[in-house]
Amino acid sequence: GAARAMRLALRDAGIEPSAIDYISAHATSTDVGDIAETQAIHTVFGERAAQVPVSAMKSQIGHLLGGSGGVETIACVQALRTGWVSPTLNVDHPGEHCDLDYVAHQARQVNPRTVLKNSFGFGGQNAVLVLQKYEG
C-alpha cells in the first residue's frame, strides 16, 4: 500500500525518512483516502510525522487523474527552487484522524532540500518520488 510505496521510494533514493523536509500528499479530500494516507505517513515517519509540512495541490487545481502526479511534481520542483511550499486551500477542519502539519490557506517558506511526492491510484497503483535540491 501507501506506506510500502513511500518506504521503497526512500530506499531506492538512499534517503532516511528523517531527511524529508516536505510531503506533497495525494490528498483527494475523501475521508477514506486522506485517513489512509495520514496513517501511512505516520507508519513511515513515526513520531516525526506531525513535524513534516504537508500540502495538497488538488485543493487548488482539482484532481487531474493521470495528470495529477506530473503537475504536482512540478510544484515540488518549484518548492525546491524557491523555498516555498504550496498551501492546501479550504482545510479548516481536517478531521480527527488527520493530524499532520498541514500547510493551510497560504504558502509557507520551508526551504526544503528533500521532498516526498505521493501519487496513489485506483486499485493500489501507487507511485512515490523523492526529489532533492541540486546544489552544485
Mean pLDDT on 73-84: 98
> CATH code at 67?
3.40.47.10
Total domains in the chain come to: 1
Q: What is the CA radius of gyration of the chain?
A: 13
- List for the chain the helix, strand, coil content (%; round to 5): 45, 20, 35
* Interval 18-69: pLDDT, tens: 999 999 999 877 788 899 999 999 999 999 999 999 999 877 787 767 777 8
Phi and psi torsions of 131, nearest 5°: -115, 140
Angle at 46 between CA 43 and CA 48, to 5 degrees: 135
Q: Which residues pair with 23 in a beta bridge?
A: 54, 116
For residues 117 and 24, the answer to whether their CB atoms sit within 8 Å is yes
Domain containing residue 110? 2-132
